[in-house]
Chain A
Amino acid sequence: MQAKTLLAPARRRGTASGLAVIALALALAGCGNRADSDYQRQFFAFGTLVDITIYGASTKLAQQASDQAERQFERMHRSWHAWHPSDLTRTNRLLATGKPFTAPASVLPLITLGKTLSDQSGGLFDPAIGRLLGLWGFESDQPPEGPPPDPKRIAALVARHPSMDDIHVDGSTVRCSNPAVQLDFGAYAKGYGVDQVIAGLRKLGIRNAIVNAGGDLRAIGRHGDRPWRIGIMRPRGPGVIASVKISGDQSVFTSGDYERYYMYKGKRYHHILDPRTGYPAWGTRSVTVIDRDGARADAAATALFVAGPKGWVATARRMGIHYVMLIDKHGIVHMNPAMAKRIHFETPTRPKVELSPPL
């Protein structure tokens, strides 16, 4: 058709220039902060994926620091392993005898810290319930699967009331008055480990870094002229539900029912056990805590998870925690006002939020 041949060259010209401008537009759109001073290293250690980000240090120093971090995590993982032979398993054997002994240097600080945190949490966080965790199958290389343990066995263990209060510390001498006690550091080992690694980075002169162990992290300094931007994963489904800005020295720790669990007959059995009942705490899906120390944030996230949507405010006040976000089993987000100010939701529709009184 005459019209077709007349107009075809015009259309082709338009398309070519169009494509050229698309390419230009995309290239320009991609121009953002060039992250030249970012050093990032990932490695598998401590039973999880560790991510180290260092800003503003020379590549040589950053590499040295990451190597040190990897070695530290390896050491701690070996010392605190709950079921492979380790300083911890040896400690548990000696605790069960009831006789006083000298605690290994790698374990003693966790015992004293564990006692303090457990007391502050009103017993909701208690590393002495290792036997219970073992009963549920969470102390094994094999991922656990149903059916859940016999309720009578659970009740029997709970009745023996293993608790950090049963461990008596005098200097480096330790004695336990309850043979039902078995230590499992899983609820705060990551926090403590991250604290140690951050301290190690500081010793090397690193001022701005994030140490992220399997999703739980502590960040120091900032990313150049802006704070660190942290995304928080949603408890159900992929994607980020919220973000928060961090600078100075802060830890962000989340305890969730999706980390270690199994499904049996439609019910989810996860590893955050309520020491009072011996069963997983079912009212909560996840708790995110922001605090300076990783160990405190880690333990608090566990304790507040167990406390649940009704009890978390009282527990947070007892522990002196100032930023909490709890997502309950209905998907409702509970926060204190200070946390609500810091949290920025990243979802297209805002989830249902319940603000608590100030902590």
Chain B
Amino acid sequence: MGGGDGHPEPESIRTTRDDHRIAWLAALAIAIHIAEAALPSPLPGIKPGLANVVTIAALVRFGWGTAAWISLLRVLMGSLLLGTFLSPTFMLSLSGALASIATLGLASRLPGTGFGPVGYSVLAAMAHMAGQFTVAYYVFIRHPALLHLVPILMTAALIFGLVSGIIVFMMLQQMRSARS
């Protein structure tokens, strides 16, 4: 085994069932993200965020850790595939994702019955938009006219969050009835 020359034997990476789950969920999210990128958007930064459906569903079924991984992988891989890695678009996506992950983390730790997919989705969508806008304003363009967009962006975030949440809810219902 190995020895004096200082090169250790490579260990094989053992993947767990969790890793597999994260991987295929992330792939699904990335696929949706890329498909969505082909759609025209009314304003840069406003997307229905359908990929979030995967994130929220994962949060409800598998916990926050899985959802966080999916979200980050989606932003990272999505930007690599779309050619926007390290661009301003990427920074905005990342800050939005981090904001919504953090918010979901806090929300999932609240005592009591907690939230369902709709609540999580609304919170995540609005945190995502707030995170994106904050970086856009303070890091990129500090033009006061941009502030005029805040109410519109947050309204859109609320609507898309609601829609995503309802989709997740219906999906999970389907999956439950399919299993029983």
The reply on B38 being an interface residue by CB < 8 A is yes
Which of B43, B83, B148, B149 touches A1 (beta carbons < 8 Å)? B83
The interface bits of chain A over 1-32 (1 if a CB of B lies within 8 angstroms of the residue's CB, else 0) are: 10110011011011101110110011001000
Q: A-side binding surface: helix, strand, loop or mixed?
A: helix
* Contact (A21, B43) CB under 8 Å given A3-B81, A26-B148, A29-B148: yes
Report the nearest B residue to A28, measured CB to CB: B148
B40, A14: Cβ atoms closer than 8 Å: yes
- B148 touching A25 by the CB < 8 A rule? yes
List A contacts of B13 (CB < 8 A): none
Across the interface, A11 reaches (CB within 8 A) one of B82, B148, B149, B152, namely B82
A24 to chain B, nearest CB (A): 10
Chain A hits for B40, CB < 8 A: 10, 13-14, 17
Q: Is B41 an interface residue (CB 8 A)?
A: yes
Interface size class of A (residues with CB under 8 A): 10 to 19
Q: Is B34 an interface residue (CB 8 A)?
A: yes
How distant is the Cα of A24 from the Cα of B83 in the complex, in angstroms? Answer: 29
Considering the complex, give the chain B residue whose CB is closest to the CB of A22: B43
When distances are taken between beta carbons in the complex, the residues of chain B under 8 Å from A11 are 37, 82
Check B82 against A4 for contact (C-beta < 8 Å): yes
Q: Is B6 an interface residue (CB 8 A)?
A: no
The CA-CA distance from A3 to B148 in the complex, in Å, is 35
Q: B44 to A18, Cβ gap below 8 A?
A: yes
Which interface class (under 10, 10 to 19, 20 to 34, 35 or more) fits B?
A: 10 to 19
Contacts of A26 in B (CB 8 A): 145, 148
Expressed in whole angstroms, the Cα–Cα distance for A13 and B37 within the complex equals 11
- B175: Cβ under 8 A from any A Cβ: no
- Please pick, from A13, A17, A25, the residue contacting B152 in the complex, using a CB distance under 8 A: A25
Q: How far is the CB of A20 from chain B (nearest CB, A)?
A: 10
Question: Residues 33-53 of chain B: 1 if any A CB is under 8 Å from the residue's CB, otherwise 0?
Answer: 010011111111000000000
Instruction: Kindly provide the distance from the CB of B142 to the nearest chain A CB, expressed in whole angstroms.
Output: 15
Name A25's contact: one of B34, B38, B83, B149 (CB within 8 Å).
B149
Bound CA–CA A19/B46 (angstroms)? 12
The closest CB in chain B to the CB of A23 belongs to B145
Which residue of A has the minimal Cβ distance to B82?
A: A7
Q: In the bound complex, what is the Cα–Cα distance between A8 and B38 (angstroms)?
A: 9
> Chain B residues near A3 (CB, 8 Å)?
34, 81-82
Q: How far is the CB of A29 from chain B (nearest CB, A)?
A: 4
> Which of the residues A4, A14, A21, A22 comes within 8 Å of B39, measured between beta carbons?
A14
Residue of B nearest to A17 (CB): B40
Q: Is the CB of A7 within 8 A of B152?
A: no
The chain A residues found within 8 Å of chain B, CB to CB, are 1, 3-4, 7-8, 10-11, 13-15, 17-19, 21-22, 25-26, 29
- Ordered by A's residue number, 12 sampled pairs between the chains whose C-beta atoms are within 8 Å are A3-B34, A3-B81, A3-B82, A4-B83, A8-B83, A17-B40, A17-B41, A18-B41, A18-B43, A21-B43, A22-B149, A25-B43
Q: A7-B34, A11-B82, A13-B40 are in contact. List 17 more A-B contacts (CB 8 A).
A: A3-B81, A4-B83, A7-B37, A7-B38, A7-B82, A10-B37, A11-B37, A14-B41, A15-B44, A17-B40, A17-B42, A18-B41, A18-B42, A18-B43, A22-B43, A22-B44, A25-B149
